[in-house]
């Protein structure tokens, strides 16, 4: 039987090794893929002052489940253009508080002592997981979109400051009269100007990156419009007495004046009653107040409580149970409202004086229409700057209250690459072991079924199988068939016995096997005949083989004088003899044997 040679088995079984490694790796990859999940993780922190009490910036209770609320998820789906339901994404979100070990110890200590423990986490871990039918990047994109939408949702609901509307934008569509359009434009400009003044005082250093403007810049723009463009529009309208319907204009003007007179009368009545109450307090309550202030055992915050100072004073519009300071503030506020009403009344009276003697009921002007359109277009452009600047301010404020602690990290439950690499190594080893086992089994089979036990060469059955294989095709060029006849075998069997002949066969088999190992197939055909088939063996190479064989026989005979080897050798070459059929080539070789 052939020697145990691992490298020979591996070389012979390389296809088997490759198949086992490939199938094993594919199996592991399939398992890893079908059991794969991808998870995107990030962490956020609520940073407003009242978060330690579980409250949002506007004082409402914090609800972290809003992170995966329908509004937020719907916005993310729309942003990404996904074809899925809200529940499909919501069900895979998880929000968990991040609690430090120190806080856990405090909690445990309080529990052990039986004390009440209250703690509202500020940091939360957000995870989103998907199955193997999605990718790792998909999980990252969805979580990122949800965070952006939640950030917008949180800012709008709990943080954002009001952005005034542009009321002048729809003047044209409502077909206002010229003077009404001017009033609406003036009111809108004044409101936005006051809004910008407030913002400038609160955030003097803020400059929006999107617009490049500060609130001071925008305040100056609207101040210029309020002091130049709006008065110019009023002057043009009043100078030409332009109107789309003079009768309707005067009627609306009269209604406005009547409404203002009613407001002035009501506020004046309130002002008189407040003044009376304040005077009554000064006359009747000052002695008792001074006495209370001198009482060292009586603590006072300096705010005098007025109640039933005047027994007969009753007015549901005024809260009698109040402080003296509040009375003064309310009195001042009502009188300021009266002054503003008087200014508005003067404005409407002036307009009435201009238009009441208008010779025509309709006085149109294309120039005024053009001026209004141009001013409205200008205000629309400037309002976009206000809106974008204020929006960025809201985002800036929101960023101070809701912070992302780290960028999104995506992980996979099964490290496919690692599993694949390990499986390749494992199944390569299994494949190699299998190749060695199969190779060794093949050696046993070859030895039992197809090896001559005396010569240790392929037996006659193996020779026939090999010849049958070559018989199915045309021989290549330079294919040489060598036949060898051991002449001394029969003589030795007759004189000494078969045991001596078997020993001679064994020795000759070893010699011929050694000589032919680099040439090709060599088998024992029985009754002392050996057949060798050497592909790609020219005549010169065949002669070299015969020369080497003769040399080896000579060395053997010199050592074994009592049993000498004699043999006949002949060969035929497919190219030299122009024979390309294996059986015909063998017959030609036997005919040449002497």
398 contacts 155 by C-beta, under 8 angstroms: yes
Instruction: Return the domain boundaries, the chain.
Output: 36-159, 170-244+362-389, 246-359, 453-591
Confidence of residue 292 (pLDDT cuts 50, 70, 90): low
Q: 305-319, 485-499, 578-592: which has the highest mean pLDDT?
A: 578-592
Sign (positive/negative) of CA torsion 26, 28, 32, 34? positive
Q: How far apart are CA 256 and CA 251, in angstroms?
A: 9
Quote the CA–CA distance of 187 and 170 in Å, as a whole number.
Answer: 14
Compare 399 and 46 and report the one with higher pLDDT: 46
Q: Which residue has the higher pLDDT, 143 or 115?
A: 143
What is the Cα–Cα distance from 587 to 594, expressed in whole angstroms?
14
The pair of three-digit structure tokens given for residue 415, joined into one six-digit string: 């490290």
Least confident of 7-21, 84-98, 213-227: 7-21
CATH top class, domain 36-159: alpha beta
Confidence of residue 285 (pLDDT cuts 50, 70, 90): low
Helix (H, G, I), strand (E, B) or coil at 212: coil
DSSP class of residue 219?
H
pLDDT greater than 50 at residue 3: yes
Distances (CA, A) of 516 to 510, 530, 547: 10, 12, 12
Per-residue pLDDT, 297: 45
pLDDT digits (tens, 9 = 90+) for 457-469: 999 999 999 999 9
Quote the pLDDT of residue 583: 94
Q: In the predicted model, is pLDDT for residue 10 greater than 50?
A: yes
Query: What's the rounded Cα separation, in Å, for the pair 157 and 69?
Result: 13
Please report the pLDDT score of residue 296 as a whole number.
Answer: 46
For residues 94 and 41, what is the distance between their CA atoms, to the nearest angstrom?
Answer: 10
pLDDT band, residue 322 (cuts 50/70/90): low
What's the chain's average pLDDT?
A: 85
* pLDDT, position 302: 44
The residue ranking higher by pLDDT, 31 or 477, is 477
Per residue in 167-188, is it b (16+ CB within 10 Å) or e — as a string? Answer: bbeebeeeebbbbbbbbbbbeb
Question: Reduced to 3 states, what is the DSSP secondary structure of residue 130?
Answer: strand
Sign of CA dihedral 72, 73, 74, 80: positive
Task: Please tell me which residue, 286 or 62, carries the higher pLDDT value.
Answer: 62
Q: What is the CATH number of domain 453-591?
A: 3.30.70.270
pTM metric for this prediction = 0.51
* Cα(484)–Cα(542) distance, integer angstroms: 13
| pLDDT per residue as tens digits for the range 164-187 | 788 887 777 677 888 888 888 999
* Confidence at 436, pLDDT banded by 50, 70, 90: confident
């Amino acid at each position: 039987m052939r020697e145990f040679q691992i490298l020979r088995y591996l070389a012979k079984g390389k296809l088997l090794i490759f198949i086992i490694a490939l199938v094993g790796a594919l199996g592991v990859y399939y398992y890893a893929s079908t059991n794969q999940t991808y998870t995107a993780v990030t962490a956020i922190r609520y940073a407003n002052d009242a978060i330690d009490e579980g409250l949002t910036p506007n004082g409402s209770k914090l609800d972290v489940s809003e992170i995966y609320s329908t509004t937020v998820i719907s916005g993310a789906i729309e942003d990404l253009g996904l074809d899925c339901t809200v529940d499909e994404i919501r069900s895979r979100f998880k929000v968990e508080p991040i609690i430090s070990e120190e806080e856990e110890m405090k909690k445990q200590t309080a529990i052990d002592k039986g004390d009440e423990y209250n703690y509202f986490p500020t940091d939360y871990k957000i995870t989103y997981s998907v199955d193997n039918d999605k990718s790792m990047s998909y999980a990252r994109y969805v979580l990122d979109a949800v965070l952006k939408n939640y950030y917008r949702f949180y800012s709008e609901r709990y943080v954002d400051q009001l952005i005034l509307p542009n009321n002048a934008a729809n003047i044209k569509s409502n077909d206002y009269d010229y003077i009404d359009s001017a009033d609406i434009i003036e009111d809108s400009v004044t409101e936005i100007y006051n809004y910008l003044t407030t913002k400038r005082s609160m955030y003097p250093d803020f400059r929006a990156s999107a617009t490049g403007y500060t609130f001071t810049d925008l305040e100056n723009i609207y101040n210029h419009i309020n002091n130049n463009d709006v008065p110019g529009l009023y002057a043009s309208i009043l100078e030409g007495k332009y109107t789309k319907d003079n009768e309707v204009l005067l009627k609306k003007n009269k209604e406005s004046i009547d409404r203002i007179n009613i407001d002035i009368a009501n506020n004046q009545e309130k002002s008189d009653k407040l003044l009376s109450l304040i005077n009554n307090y000064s006359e009747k309550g000052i002695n008792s107040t001074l006495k209370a202030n001198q009482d060292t055992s009586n603590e006072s915050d300096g705010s005098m409580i007025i109640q039933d100072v005047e027994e007969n004073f009753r007015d549901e519009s005024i809260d009698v149970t109040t402080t003296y300071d509040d009375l003064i503030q309310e009195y001042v506020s009502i009188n300021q409202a009266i002054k503003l009403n008087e200014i508005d009344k003067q404005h409407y009276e002036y307009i009435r004086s201009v238009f009441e003697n208008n010779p025509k009921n309709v006085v149109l002007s294309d120039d005024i229409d053009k001026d209004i359109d141009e001013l409205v277009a200008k205000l629309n452009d400037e309002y976009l700057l206000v809106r974008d600047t204020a929006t960025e301010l809201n985002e800036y404020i929101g960023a101070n209250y809701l912070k992302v602690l780290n960028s999104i990290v995506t992980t996979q439950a099964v490290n496919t690459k690692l599993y694949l690499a390990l499986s390749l190594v494992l199944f390569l080893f299994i494949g190699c072991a299998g190749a060695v086992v199969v190779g060794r089994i093949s050696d046993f089979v070859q030895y039992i079924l197809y090896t001559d036990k005396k010569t240790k060469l392929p037996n006659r059955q193996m020779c026939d199988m090999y010849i049958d294989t070559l018989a199915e095709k045309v021989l290549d060029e330079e294919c040489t068939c060598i036949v060898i006849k051991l002449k001394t075998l029969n003589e030795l069997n007759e004189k000494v016995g078969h045991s001596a002949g078997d020993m001679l066969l064994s020795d000759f088999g070893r010699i011929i096997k050694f000589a032919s190992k680099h040439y090709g197939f060599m088998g024992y055909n029985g009754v002392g005949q050996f057949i060798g088939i050497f592909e790609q063996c020219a005549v010169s190479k065949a002669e070299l083989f015969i020369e080497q064989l003769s040399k080896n026989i000579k060395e053997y005979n010199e050592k074994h004088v009592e049993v000498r080897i004699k043999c006949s050798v002949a060969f035929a070459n497919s190219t030299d003899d122009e024979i390309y059929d294996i059986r015909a080539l063998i017959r030609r070789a036997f005919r040449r044997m002497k």
